[in-house]
Amino acid sequence: MRIIEDIFPAHSSFAAPGTIDNIETLYANPEQQDVYYVGTARVVLTENLVMVAIDSPEGAKIVFQEDYETYLAAHSNDTTHRLITKSGKMVAFKRDHNCGCGSRLRGWNPYKTLGSSKD
């Protein structure tokens, strides 16, 4: 599993299929209409999967996980990453410039790797 992005803390927005006409108009902010916004989150993007987790009283909780088919990386003029899932949902996320202090998401390991006794 190759990690493409692992962003914490992150702002993220989600749009249902058919809600947004053009993915370039989806932004990771709470002001956009008909879009679900998640504030302090951790977004992990692999070669084919996106995971979004939030902090909960029980620890890290995955609130969104789905395979994607289109990914538009952030660039210098626009710091928002965007993707379209295989089911047609649109996701936008960007780094939050706060520190995320006190969140257990910083130490959360979503990679499910095992160490060997020789390491």
> Quick check: is 36 in a domain?
yes
Our count of domains for the chain comes to 1
> Quick check: is 114 in a domain?
no
> Quick check: is 110 in a domain?
no
> Quick check: is 70 in a domain?
yes
Average pLDDT score over residue span 59-74: 95
First to last CA, the chain: 20
**Measuring CA to CA, which residue among 47, 44, 19, 52 is closest to residue 33?**
19
Check pLDDT > 80 for residue 1. no
Predicted local confidence at residue 118, as pLDDT: 58
Percent of the chain with pLDDT over 70: 93
> Quick check: is 112 in a domain?
no
Q: How far apart (Å, rounded) are the C-alpha atoms in residues 55 and 118?
A: 33
> Quick check: is 61 in a domain?
yes
pTM of the model: 0.88
> Quick check: is 113 in a domain?
no
Cis peptide before 9 (omega within 30 of 0): yes
Domain of residue 72 covers: 3-95
Average pLDDT score over residue span 40-54: 95
